[in-house]
Amino acid sequence: MMGTEDLKHEHNEIGLMLDVLGKICELLDAGENIDPEHLKQLHDFMFTFVDKCHHTKEEEILFPMLKSINGAESQKLIDVLIAEHGTGRKYAHAIGEAISNHENVDLQDRAEIIKYGRNYIKLLVQHIKKENNVLFTMAEKKLSDKQNLELFEKFEVVEKEKIGMGEHEKLHAMLHHLADIYL
């Protein structure tokens, strides 16, 4: 598998997480109760998979490689994407704060989860489109097949070092379980 293909596949999983989050926001907004454990699991996916694994692959491996090959042409786009990663972290952190110390989500927490959840969804939907349609297209044009394969090999190391052996699969299984419940 090539590095850009791996990131696109991860975007599909992140899109599923955003669909689950959207449905949870919709239910919370309608006054429904959501299992706090499901909220924690969803937040864990945001923190561990999206940020710690996926964004690390981009920020520590893809972006530097692309800048070394493509220089200033890619710099502006990369700066925007890194800023968006930072905004996403803030939204995910706010969601985590709203669910962290509560067995049951109260009205204030509910409002925070809805607000930051919807902001997170809006941000990541446009962010993923930008990466899929602009960044990855640029990378596939500029990187040789050997470099793209090298990306994938380095991504495998990130997964092992940042989230641990087997965690990727556990996170995906948990996400699909939540999707079965909410979608």
pLDDT, position 102: 56
Q: Which SS3 state, helix, strand or coil, does residue 50 take?
A: helix
What is the distance between the alpha carbons of residues 178 and 154, in angstroms, rounded to a whole number? 30
What is the distance between the alpha carbons of residues 13 and 26, in angstroms, rounded to a whole number? 20
Residues in the chain: 183
Least confident of 1-5, 10-14, 38-42, 176-180: 1-5
Q: Can you give the CATH number for the domain in which 64 is found? A: 1.20.120.520
- Here the tokens at position 64 are 């530097």
Beta-carbon neighbour count of residue 97 at 10 Å?
Answer: 14
Q: Residue range 108-119: average pLDDT? A: 93
Q: Are 101 and 56 in contact (CB under 8 A)?
A: no
Cα-based torsion angle of the residue sequence 94, 100, 103, 109 in order, rounded to the nearest 10 degrees: -20
Percent of the chain exceeding pLDDT 70 equals 96
Q: Which residues contact 56 (CB under 8 A, 6 or more apart)?
A: 158, 162
Number of domains in the chain: 1
User: How far from each other are the two terminal CA atoms of the chain, in whole angstroms?
Assistant: 29
Render pLDDT for 74-106 as a digit per residue (tens, 0 to 9). Answer: 899 999 999 999 999 999 999 999 987 556 666
Angle of helix 107-130 relative to helix 72-100, nearest 10 degrees, comes to 160
What is the distance between the alpha carbons of residues 74 and 17, in angstroms, rounded to a whole number? 28
Q: Residue range 140-155: average pLDDT? A: 91
Q: Looking at the predicted structure, is the pLDDT value of residue 30 above 70?
A: yes
Of 91, 2, 100, 3, nearest in space to 50 by CA: 91
pLDDT, position 101: 56
Q: Looking at the predicted structure, is the pLDDT value of residue 149 above 80?
A: yes
Could you list the residue range(s) of the whole structural domain that residue 152 is in? 3-182
